[in-house]
Structure 1
Amino acid sequence: MDYSYESEHTKFMREFLEKNPHMQEKRLAARSMWWDKNQNREENKEFKESSVPMKPYVYFNG
């Protein structure tokens, strides 16, 4: 099996990051702003426990 295939997108991203090394820092900053958050397990547990189960067929009120 040939594992040397590289998609056009991968080539583009590799070349882009080589030309713009500052983008890696921006990417990490944006990721930490939106995704890398500490989770509060107690708060998550309360959220799951307080949810109301969905009715079997939501488009029929009968």
Structure 2
Amino acid sequence: MAQYESDHTKFMRQWMEKHPEEREEQRRGRALWWDKPQDLKTSETNQASHVPQKAYYYQNEH
């Protein structure tokens, strides 16, 4: 059974085949925004400071 592949995915696959130099640009972009070293203390602080959100964000208490 064939899996569905969107037109956008097909386009990007073809485009990346025609422009292999973009792989390096993609890696640099990922490193810039996502691939960061993790700090356990910062993660714990962020999790401890989390404030629970109400089920319906816009509901007021009047």
Give TM-score, length-normalised by structure 2. Answer: 0.68
Indicate the percent of aligned positions where both proteins have the same amino acid.
Answer: 40
Aligned residue for 1:47? Answer: 46
Deviation at 1:55, TM superposition (A): 7.7
2:22 and 2:32 mapped to 1: Cα distance?
A: 15
Q: Which has the larger radius of gyration?
A: 1
> Which structure 1 segments of 5+ residues have no match?
none
- Which segment is superposed worse, 40-49 or 21-30? 40-49
1:56 and 1:3 mapped to 2: Cα distance?
A: 39
From the superposition, tell whether residues 5 and 56 of structure 1 become closer, same or farther in structure 2 (CA, over 3 Å).
closer
1:4 and 1:47 mapped to 2: Cα distance?
A: 39
1:4 and 1:50 mapped to 2: Cα distance?
A: 42
2:11 and 2:49 mapped to 1: Cα distance?
A: 46
From the superposition, tell whether residues 49 and 3 of structure 1 become closer, same or farther in structure 2 (CA, over 3 Å).
same
Deviation at 1:51, TM superposition (A): 4.4
From the superposition, tell whether residues 14 and 50 of structure 1 become closer, same or farther in structure 2 (CA, over 3 Å).
closer
2:5 and 2:51 mapped to 1: Cα distance?
A: 47
Give TM-score, length-normalised by structure 1. Answer: 0.68
> Which structure 2 segments of 5+ residues have no match?
none
